[in-house]
Amino acid sequence: MKRRKKKSSRKMEFLKAAIVVVLIGLVLRIFIFLPFKCDNPDMENALYQGDYLIVSKLSYNAGTPQAGDLVVFEHPFKIGELKAGRVVATEGQTVEITDKLVYVDDAKIADYTNVKHSDDKIIPETYTNRDYLQPVQVPAGAVYILCDNRDTAEDSRNFGPINVDNIKGRGMFVYWSWRPDPDAPEWESPYIIPAVKILFYSLFNFPSRLRWDRLGVSGK
């Protein structure tokens, strides 16, 4: 009888520990951290497709986003869709773009470390505001966001300044990076067979798809 009691008590201890771990994870997920998967090239070279970013929800509890911050925000026209971008101007400031160069309050700002231009062509403002943008003043309670991959991304040039309330947090570091593969099996119905395919595919391709050099990289 004593042995049975010991075994049952061990099981209860394990169950309690598991419950505590799950509760801690939920608290961290709900109140402190947000995991974000980068599924487009908008933020290259700061983030790459397949990067998983840890986002701090507490970063702006006692302040507001500042120029240079890499933030994750909800798309203003697509409810529930999250995007990553970089703040270039805050409320009251005026943003203007001329020949791909960004001006804030009439002063040209230096490109942030990871900013890139994949297209050397300058497109006239008659056709798009990608390379030219008439002066836009950022309203109160908002920020102006540009993506680091300037020539292909969708950002405030397309949908205007972003309300601070739409910002979910500040990007901290990449905790996982999975190289995209168009030939990888997809999750679809019926789910049992795809689940088995994905499991074996991931096990056999783990060394080649995991980008070790991306782990721990910050979004600066």
Q: Could you tell me if residue 220 is inside a domain?
A: no
Residues 28 and 97 in one domain: no
Q: Give pTM, 2 decimals.
A: 0.83
pLDDT value for 88: 98
Residues 144 and 99 in one domain: yes
Residues 207 and 170 in one domain: yes
pLDDT value for 194: 76
Residue 76 sits in a domain of what CATH number? 2.10.109.10
CA distance 84 to 103: 21
Token code pair at residue 77: 């026209």
Residues 81 and 127 in one domain: yes
Q: Could you tell me if residue 219 is inside a domain?
A: no
pLDDT value for 199: 79
CA distance 17 to 25: 12
pLDDT value for 187: 72
pLDDT value for 28: 47
Residues 87 and 107 in one domain: yes
Residues 164 and 55 in one domain: yes
Q: Strands 101-104, 94-98: parallel, antiparallel or unpaired by DSSP?
A: antiparallel
Residues 87 and 108 in one domain: yes
Residues 23 and 42 in one domain: no
Tell me if 73 sits within 8 A of 55, measured CB to CB.
no
Residues 164 and 131 in one domain: yes
Helix (H, G, I), strand (E, B) or coil at 213: helix
Q: What is the pLDDT along the chain (220 residues), one digit of tens a residue?
A: 545 555 556 666 656 555 654 454 454 455 578 999 999 999 999 999 999 999 999 999 888 999 999 999 999 999 999 999 999 999 999 999 999 999 999 999 999 999 999 999 999 999 999 999 999 999 999 999 999 999 999 999 999 999 999 999 999 999 999 998 887 777 777 667 777 777 777 788 878 889 999 999 987 7
Residues 49 and 20 in one domain: no
Tell me if 82 sits within 8 A of 39, measured CB to CB.
no
Enclosing domain of residue 20 = 1-32
